[in-house]
Structure 1
């Protein structure tokens, strides 16, 4: 009796299964997967965590990438790697990673690897915080040297609903956007990880009972904000954050059902001077990637626009809504 030939889909599935099993048959690659599940890291940072040579790490990263466990993102001369989000991961790879994660604490090196990765992220955050502490008083004028904030702040107002009760200004800086937001919302909560920025903003709104500020990591918002806001705005902030998808999930948690989320950021570019001059971690974003992050975080995309500037950049403006409302 003839054995029926496999369909193309079955053959592809079998090939993927074998590649995935081979990829996790090596202890180093399992360590890399667990480290990259914490946050995106570049090759140099992964070698620092695992204390291994760059060529060896690069080879393991390629195997994991080819097997469908990782995504790569080029940022100028740097390439970052991260574990694929659940929504973008092949079902079989996601199941394997789920099993590995459940036994993470029992695996050799896992605790020390995680501690090293978190220290790298802490140093990233400290570097960014030191920069913004230093420029807090001059931030508005520094922004105008590269982009005119009025250009996109007016657009934010067009996209926000009227008569909002509470709006979150994510990465509020010294508060330049807040007067605009007050025309749409009864209360504004400004959130920033820089203590100096919070002080500058607080001094500007001392006599306004409808504005308050919280010093917080945007990737770990306080529980008091859970389901409390009608809208959130992240204006020129995501490219400073180590893990933008994690920040989006935190914003999702803070919004009420059907809450509006406005993102304003730079479109993907190649101007690497922005890393040193403005402490940018990411050189902008492609709209498709931001859309994927939003959808995986529980948002529905309502509109995506691009604005031309007179400098090197295009500005990306995205309106999304938390799913669950009508």
Structure 2
């Protein structure tokens, strides 16, 4: 959950106000409240030089209004989520008219940047759908990952299971036998076609596959016992938004399992495999879960064995919704568009 405005030292407030009180920096703050962006993307949106944008970002970061994290040759920026300066920044943006012409124009260009990203990802997934499982074998042995997944979630029956970015449907094949109903969401029709073949071959009749946006899930809210995001977040431009959307689908006391790479330096994955992020630090995912209303109940790091040279470490995070069950659970998922 985001903090409410809180008292802070005079210098903290003065520095934050000075940083936000300039046209370009205010525009940057508004953009970074909506998406995690690189300097080059901000240059494209605002039409200003890279040095100028970098100087403004430096001031915003120093004021505590913006967070910066570096991955190899790339740096990502996002509006800060914690601290008095971040709360003040949210207050400022909350008073900024949504229909302001400059803000509207920036949003329009942000939409174009996001559209270009999405089109690149669609082309990539379409061209690699048939051999997706082979591409995923960049990390420690899949058998180890799947064994850890099964162990972490246990063998208790699930009413409703949701797999986000289902890809070829392997997670559904693995876990749908535990569920009354399982749903897989993916944006790529080609990937869903591969998944349907796989699941039909496995004889699973309790699975639905749906094309959908991970940021606007076509599923019921407060419904699923378990939601899985397996090797998906590193493709996304806004992982935090995807986690928040996933949590909206959880029933009270439901669990979210995230599986992804630990931080690494394989820059080729950006150029050759459309990875946007080079893994995630344990504290980053834990913070995303906690800010979305989950308690992190378990984390595991699967480090490559001595004979798995060149493989990447995989981390699994399991979070539980803090809400308490008060009503009987629905047993099946209603039809949805």
TM-score w.r.t. the length of structure 1 is 0.91
| Aligned position for 1:178 | 172
Matched, 1:291 2:286: yes
Does 2:64 match 1:77? no
Contact 1:34 1:104 in 2 (8 A): no
Listed one character per residue, the Cα deviations across residues 191-244 of structure 1 (whole Å, up to 9, x for unaligned) are: 11111101111222245320111111111112x321121101111111011111
**SS of residue paired to 2:76:** strand
Residue matched to 2:246: 251
Deviation of 1:147 after TM superposition, in Å, equals 4.2
What CA deviation, in whole Å up to 9, does each residue of 1:81-132 have, x standing for no partner? Answer: 00122xx132x54134323233232534100101111211121121112111
May I ask how many residue pairs the two structures share in their alignment?
312
RCO greater where, 1 or 2, for CA within 8 Å and sep 6 or more? Answer: 2
1:167 to 148, 161, 164: 161
- C-alpha distance in structure 1 between counterparts of 2:252 and 2:144, whole Å: 29
CA contact (8 A) 2:138 2:312 kept: no
CA distance in 1, matches of 2:149, 2:254: 15
In structure 2, the residue corresponding to 1:105 is in which secondary structure? coil
| 1:256 to 1:103, Cα distance in 2 relative to 1, 3 A | same
**Number of the residue aligned with 1:190:** 184
Other structure's SS at 1:153 match:
helix
The counterpart of 1:150, out of the listed 139, 143, 150, is: 143
Query: Paired residue for 1:202?
Result: 196
- Is 1:121 the counterpart of 2:114 in the alignment? yes
What residue in structure 2 maps to residue 66 of structure 1?
62
Counterparts of 1:156 and 1:105, CA distance in 2? 43
1:120-168 deviation digits (Å, cap 9, x = unpaired) = 1121121112111111111112223554322211211111141101111
How many angstroms does 1:325 deviate by? 2.1
Contact 1:202–1:212 under 8 Å retained in 2? no
Q: Of residues 38, 41, 51 in structure 1, which corresponds to 2:37?
A: 41
Deviation at 1:171, TM superposition (A): 1.0
Contact 2:79 2:86 in 1 (8 A): no
What SS is found at the alignment partner of 1:318?
Answer: strand
Match in the other structure for 1:314: 313
Paired residues of 2:293 and 2:321 also in contact (CA < 8 A): yes
What is the deviation of 1:184? 2.2
1:30 deviates by 0.5
Q: Which moved more, 1:157-166 or 1:73-82?
A: 157-166
Under a length normalisation based on structure 2, what TM-score does the superposition of the two structures give? 0.88
Q: Which runs of 5+ in 2 are unaligned?
A: 1-6, 326-337
Matched-pair contact (CA < 8 Å) for 1:157–1:184? no
Tell me whether 1:270 sits opposite 2:269 in the alignment.
no
C-alpha root-mean-square deviation of aligned residues, in Å? 1.7
Per-residue CA deviation, residues 169-204 of structure 1 (Å, 9 max, x unaligned), is 111101122221023222211111111101111222
Residue of structure 2 in register with 1:303 after alignment: 298
Look up the SS of the partner of 1:205 in the other structure.
helix
Contact 2:68 2:76 in 1 (8 A): yes
Structure 1, unmatched stretches of 5+, are: 1-9
Residue 274 of structure 2 is matched in structure 1 by 279
Runs of 4+ in structure 1 deviating by more than 4 angstroms, as ranges, are none
CA contact (8 A) 2:139 2:314 kept: no
